[in-house]
Amino acid sequence: MTTQARAIAAIQRRVIACGRCPELVTYRADVAREKRRAYRDHDYWGKPVPAFGDPLARVLLVGLAPGAHGSNRTGRMFTGDASGEWLYRALHRAGFASQARQVDRNDGMVLTDALITAAVRCAPPGNKPTTEERAACMPFLEEELAALRGLRVIVTLGKIADDTVHRIVKTAGTYRSPRATFKHGAETQIALPGSPEATILASYHPSQQNTSTKVLTEPMLDAIFVRARELSGLTP
Ligand code: SF4
């Protein structure tokens, strides 16, 4: 295992053990105990969800937070709900994911050159973390950004993820271009301590609310990952 992979793994061990946000500690455990009827036979994860993917990634995806019955159930980012179906299908089409089908932590999925993380690692009620919870969890993302030495692209999935990454850049990085207003496909050039030059590439979140209303379509999401490959110097 490389030094970088060990650093990313060490961050994830601390994520999983974290209990900084008392309300989220209670909520994630309550959901795991009570369960949704469709998953009553499942053994819920019920803990903070670690980043998933390639620890040497050139592309980092940042989501909002685990879904109560998605990642909080399966223990893997974007796994076990409708958002994950969309995301992994797109990552597979773009060549980042070994398969389109996502079920649970043991489904054989392998990511190459992509790592998936989130602004907040515990499932929040109503998918809405508080300002304090977002601030409490931000240091984990900051550490990941510092550890990913070859990072070239940060895909922010939704405005909260985008705002969180920009907060980190403001304090720990440098802007190489003016900050782009959040919209699908917006790009901002930055430099971080770990990666000299990188691009924040904004994307609408693949939530059911966005995909069912066609605010986000599959071609729109595909375009993000084609651009991410271009920006990171990966073959199409
Ligand atoms: S949201 Fe983040 S900071 Fe809060 S308890 Fe979960 S892992 Fe810890």
pLDDT (tens digit per residue) in 44-103: 999 999 999 999 999 999 999 999 999 999 999 999 999 999 999 999 999 999 999 999
Residue 98 within a domain: yes
Structural domain boundaries, residue 126: 3-231
Look at residue 234 and tell me whether its pLDDT is greater than 90.
no
Is residue 193 very low, low, confident or very high in pLDDT (cuts 50, 70, 90)?
Answer: confident
How far, in Å, from the CA of 22 to the mean position of ligand 1?
9
Task: Please tell me the distance from the alpha carbon of residue 234 to that of residue 113, in angstroms, as a whole number.
Answer: 9
pLDDT for the residue numbered 235: 78
How far, in Å, from the CA of 149 to the mean position of ligand 1?
24
Is residue 185 very low, low, confident or very high in pLDDT (cuts 50, 70, 90)?
Answer: very high
For residues 190-210, average pLDDT: 93
Q: Tens digit of pLDDT for each residue in 87-112? A: 999 999 999 999 999 999 999 999 99
Quote the tokens at residue 185.
């496909």
Look at residue 179 and tell me whether its pLDDT is greater than 90.
yes
Determine which residue's CA is closest to atom 4 belonging to ligand 1. 21
Residue 14 within a domain: yes
Residue 104 within a domain: yes
Q: How many distinct structural domains can be found in the chain?
A: 1
Predicted TM-score of the model (pTM): 0.97
Q: Which of 13, 15, 20, 25 to mutate to test the pocket of ligand 1 (most atoms within 8 A of CB)?
A: 20
DSSP β-ladder status, 153-157 and 59-63: parallel
Quote the percentage of the chain above a pLDDT of 90.
96
Residue 216 within a domain: yes
Q: Which letter does DSSP use for residue 81 in this model?
A: S
Indicate if ligand 1 lies below 6 Å from the C-beta of 94: no
Residue 93 within a domain: yes
How far, in Å, from the CA of 138 to the mean position of ligand 1?
9
Is residue 156 very low, low, confident or very high in pLDDT (cuts 50, 70, 90)?
Answer: very high
Rg (CA), the chain: 16
pLDDT for the residue numbered 126: 94
Amino acid letter, 173: G
**CB 165, CB 142: distance < 8 Å:** no
Residue 122 within a domain: yes
Task: Please tell me the distance from the alpha carbon of residue 227 to that of residue 162, in angstroms, as a whole number.
Answer: 17
For residues 198-202, average pLDDT: 98
How far, in Å, from the CA of 213 to the mean position of ligand 1?
31
Per DSSP, the three-state class of 116 is: strand
| DSSP H helices in 95-130 | none
The CATH number of the domain holding residue 130 is 3.40.470.10
Residue 236 within a domain: no
Q: SS3 string of 174-233?
A: EECCCCCCCCCCCEEEEECCCCCCEEEEEECCCCHHHHHCCCCCHHHHHHHHHHHHHHCC
Count the helices and strands in the chain (H runs, E runs).
8, 7
Is residue 195 very low, low, confident or very high in pLDDT (cuts 50, 70, 90)?
Answer: confident
